[in-house]
Amino acid sequence: MIHAWPLSGEAWSEQIPVLTAAGSCVISYNRRGFGRSDKPKGGYDYDTLAEDLQAILETLNVTDATFVGFSMGGGEVARYVSRFGGERVHSVVFASAVPPDMAKGPDNPDGPLTEEEAGEMTKGLDADPDAFYDDFTTQFFTAHGEMTVTEAQRQDALRLAKQADKRAALETMAAFGSTDFRNGLPKLTVATLVIHGDSDGIVTFEGSGARIHATIAGSDLQVIAGGPHGMNVSHADEFNRALLAFLDK
């Protein structure tokens, strides 16, 4: 379970008990710089993050794994497979995920993130992290202008976001906003599920989920109606049913 930016492995609290009860062995970790992980001065590019994932798999001797990559974590899934292949991988799930390429530009007109928007995010986080995270967690769970979770759930996400190291948050923001995964996605030959909310205002379905599905031959697609970016919390039951059905295939 590879968590979203800027949260931690605790963000899977609605999924881990359900998956465990269904008989899965669940591994959730905190990305370097986030949650309770160490906060090194560097290594916040996708190549290094994929190496971190490989180190976990090797240390725990994990094989036949299903990767569930949420938002930024979807980039780690894509980069891991392009770097290390599928020897340890049974299947993958892209949930509200950032591939194939967030950065809108002449060669990527469908990218959901403009240069101006990326600059404003960086500027806001650098100037006032508390205010930035307060707004970001609000948008994380907003669909069509309405909050889709309780205030307690939003506050829990805000608590996790504030555990992030500022340098780590800024550098990984740059990574997920500018990394091009388009060449790596076609290398995915394992079973793949793409699950995305149709009301995601942070990583839009049209700019990301729909394009991942179109790129990976034979991939399954589950669109959650009214789902914001944080659909694994707001629409936890629907998300979990889709995940369990995919694991049972």
**What CATH number is given to the structural domain containing 239?**
3.40.50.1820
Mean pLDDT score of the chain, rounded to an integer? 97
3-class DSSP assignment, residue 55:
helix
Cis peptide leading into residue 106 (ω within 30°):
no
Q: Which of 8, 28, 37, 71 is catalytic?
A: 71
Question: What is the number of domains present in the chain?
Answer: 1
Q: Yes or no: say if 185 and 216 are a contact pair by the CB < 8 Å rule.
A: yes
Residue 4 lies in a domain: no
For a pLDDT cut of 70, what percent of the chain falls above it?
Answer: 100
Q: Which of 200, 208, 213, 219 is catalytic?
A: 200
3-class DSSP assignment, residue 2:
strand
Residue 198 lies in a domain: yes
Active site residue 71: yes
Region 232-242: what's the mean pLDDT? Answer: 98
Q: What's the pTM value of the predicted model, to 2 decimals?
A: 0.97
Residue 172, C-beta contacts closer than 8 angstroms, at least 6 positions apart: 5, 6, 31, 33, 44, 49, 72
Active site residue 229: yes
| Rounded Cα–Cα distance for residues 209 and 198 (Å) | 9
Residue 200: give the domain boundaries.
9-247
Q: Yes or no: say if 184 and 79 are a contact pair by the CB < 8 Å rule.
A: yes
Residue 227 lies in a domain: yes
| Rounded Cα–Cα distance for residues 8 and 28 (Å) | 9
Residue 3 lies in a domain: no
Which pLDDT does position 187 carry in this prediction?
Answer: 87
Region 169-193: what's the mean pLDDT? Answer: 96
Residue listed under structure tokens 């669909």: 143
